[in-house]
Amino acid sequence: MPRKAKAIVLDSWSVIAYLGDEPAAQQIADLISSAHEEEIPVYMTVVNVGEVWYIIAREISEEEADISVKELRDLRIQIEDADWELTREAARFKSKHKMSYADCYAAALAKSKKADLVTGDKEFGALQDQIKIEWV
What residue spans define the domains of the chain?
8-135
3.40.50.300, 1.10.10.10, 3.40.50.1010, 3.40.640.10: which CATH number matches 8-135? 3.40.50.1010
Give the tens place of pLDDT for each residue, 69-106: 999 999 999 999 999 999 999 999 999 999 999 999 99
User: What is the DSSP pairing of strand 8-10 with strand 42-45?
Assistant: parallel
β strands within 30-111, DSSP E: 42-45, 78-80
DSSP 36-48: HHTT--EEEEHHH
pTM for this structure? 0.94
**Tens digits of per-residue pLDDT, 17-61?**
999 999 999 999 999 999 999 999 999 999 999 999 999 999 999
H-helix or E-strand containing 17?
helix 12-19
Measure the CA–CA gap between 40 and 27, rounded to whole angstroms. 16
